[in-house]
Copies of this chain bind each other. A is one copy, B any other.
Amino acid sequence: MIRIGIDMMGGDFAPLEAVKGVAAFTEANANPVHLLLIGDEPILQEHLSKTTIPSSTYTIVHAPEVIEMHEHPTKALKEKQQSSIAVGFHLLASEKIDGFISAGNTGAMMVGALFSIKAIEGVIRPTIGAYIPREDGSLGLLVDVGLNADCKPENLNQFAILGSLFAQHILKIDQPKVGLVNIGEEEGKGNILAQAAYPLLKENHHINFVGNIEGRDILINKADVMVCEGFTGNVVLKLAESVYDIVKRRNIKDEHFERFNFEAYGGVPVLGVAKPVIIGHGISKAIAFKNMIHIACKMKETNLTGKIYESFNQA
């Protein structure tokens, strides 16, 4: 049975929205999944007693400490061994859970993912991607969105593989089209990094490279996996998120822009580390937690990390 660990104390609305998310997940999910709810036991007990979540579906793991949003990641993780994030990574590293989810301190989640779980052999730099809603109703993946602000061409080439495997197995896109985010369409355009990454992507037989894509192509389905360094990716993602805020403030009702509510997608997977780790927005609400648990289960079910290992360690 798949076992997913959830940091119940992470995020701005903890633990209430995490509990609601667990309730929503268990209601909707038919497959056998066991949830390890990590947090302050008395507080969690109290919240859970008010729900109809079957007690057989979860186990509470007591973690009395919380790493706050403003704390220094490495320092906090080291000093707060009883925090929900530290306990979660301990459970993941010791194979007590198959995946770990948190909407808490992003930096601490990154440090935990990179140092207590570690990168898959052959992966130089793990990455985080984000879903991008497209007008045809599908989702694309933008990688990297902030973990790697400075990249080498080979990093982008690896992000393309990691993103493709995620798109193929989790988003169920057959032969996902990979585009290099750039400032012109033709080969040879771009900054030094993009110019150097292009031939690597072109020669990469693990992916379906469709060439350069421009800013105007990001919100249409020209490419399923859109590759860039984390600086541009982060600026683009946050800009797209702000479009949703503007749409809301202006009271515009539109089905497509409704899908710019990035919070609803749950979190972003850390790709290239040895086990499923999902990092949620601090403002995650019930639906985000539900979706994050769902993605973690899918990553385990499809053995995504195993497929990444194979791809990076072929003869």
Question: Contact residues of A with B, CB < 8 Å?
Answer: 135, 146, 149-150, 181, 183, 190-192, 194, 214-220, 228-232, 234-243, 245-246, 249-250, 252, 254, 256-257
Contacts and interface: CB of A to CB of B under 8 A. Distances in A.
Contact of A135 (B216, B246, B254): B246
Nearest to A146: B183
Copies in the assembly, this chain: 2
A57 B236 CA distance: 45
B219 A246 contact: yes
B254 A252 contact: yes
A191 B150 contact: yes
Contacts of A241: 215-216
Contacts of A236: 215, 235-236, 239
A241 B240 CA distance: 12
| Interface majority SS (helix, strand, loop, mixed), chain A | helix
Contacts of A230: 183, 191
B215 A183 contact: no
B231 A219 contact: no
Contact of A183 (B234, B250, B252): B234
Nearest to A220: B242
* Leading 10 A-B pairs by shortest Cβ distance: A215-B238, A149-B191, A215-B239, A215-B235, A183-B234, A216-B242, A216-B238, A191-B231, A150-B191, A232-B232
A281 to B, nearest CB: 12
B240 A150 contact: no
B254 A191 contact: no
Contacts of A220: 242
A73 B239 CA distance: 33
A86 to B, nearest CB: 23
A134 B122 CA distance: 45
Nearest to A194: B231
Given A219-B242, A219-B243, A214 B235 contact: yes
A239 B250 CA distance: 20
